[in-house]
Structure 1
Amino acid sequence: MDSFEATLDADRLPAISLVTRRLQRLIDQGFLEAAPGALAWELVTHAWALRPALFDGREGPRPHPLAVAAIALAEAVRLESFRGDAPLQAIYVLALSTLLDGIAREGELLRLQEVDRHLLDAARAVRLGHLHGDRLDPLRKPS
């Protein structure tokens, strides 16, 4: 791994850690069988790759790790919807819900920016079942 790749991984690590913890809880409760760290890395990396300039700060301020984790889980929900894997989709909805509920409880303590609110609004819409539609998809390149 070169230093550029190491930097990218370091930028993603806080979000990966947040997703890992949510997945580990679901594993502990028997809902999921997986390696939580590897799965979290895959989910965050997939979301990041869809719109890297959004996450790496080229399009404005970098999003908060909580917002990155939320949109990565929301994208996983959307992806499993497309694939037709309802049980895995439900597991990701559960992980997303616990993350969003935690963010709502911390609310004003977090220093969220406009980009974070946009990502969190999109993640909330996915949690509510609004899975398709460009307006709700901040990971698709704006036209």
Structure 2
Amino acid sequence: MEYCPRPFNPDKLSSALVAKVWDHKPDIFDGKLGKAPHKMSVAAIALASGLYDYDHDEDMRLPIQLALGTVLTEVINNGRFYNLGSADHYLLELADKACGEVAKRDLADPTAALGSLAL
């Protein structure tokens, strides 16, 4: 899936990933079904979506995976300060599951984590 033109542009990619998930479930992100999700939850689910979209493009997937890990770590460490609602917890759970699935697969194939380093 080509959201981000080459060379890699994190701003364009992140905007495209957020727009994609927002367009897929606008009622959740607009807050029509309750409290709108926190931006950290939106970032996490957008990045998780990107893991699947760029599954076979390691040059794109690995930075997305790193960013998702960073977002999830931030929420684990400081989530109590974000006043997260039920939609946030749902989105974060989905993002965490996606991150875990990809990491588990990468651990099964140690060369996958090396990406384009060609070691």
Pairwise same-fold verdict (TM > 0.5): yes
Q: Deviations over 1:94-141 (max 9, x none)?
A: 1100111111111222201111000001000011016xxxxxxxxxxx
Kindly provide the amino acid, as one letter, of the partner of residue 45 in structure 1.
A
Partner of 2:74: 102
Q: Does 1:41 align with 2:1?
A: no
- Count of aligned positions: 97
Task: Could you tell me which runs of 5 or more consecutive residues in structure 2 were left unpaired when the two chains were aligned.
Answer: 1-6, 103-119
Shift of 1:86: 3.1
Q: TM-score, normalised by structure 2?
A: 0.74
Shift of 1:71: 0.4
Kept in 1, the 8 Å contact 2:51–2:65? The answer is: yes
Unaligned runs of 5+ in 1: 1-32, 131-143
2:61 & 2:9 partners in 1: Cα distance? Answer: 17
Q: What is the distance in 1 between the residues matched to 2:61 and 2:12?
A: 18
Aligned to 1:55: 29
Q: CA deviation at 1:48?
A: 0.7
* TM-score, normalised by the number of residues in structure 1: 0.62
Structure 2 counterparts to residues 12-31 of structure 1, below 5 A: none
Distance in 2 (alpha carbons) for counterparts of 1:62 and 1:52: 10
Point out 4+ residue stretches in structure 1 off by more than 6 angstroms: none
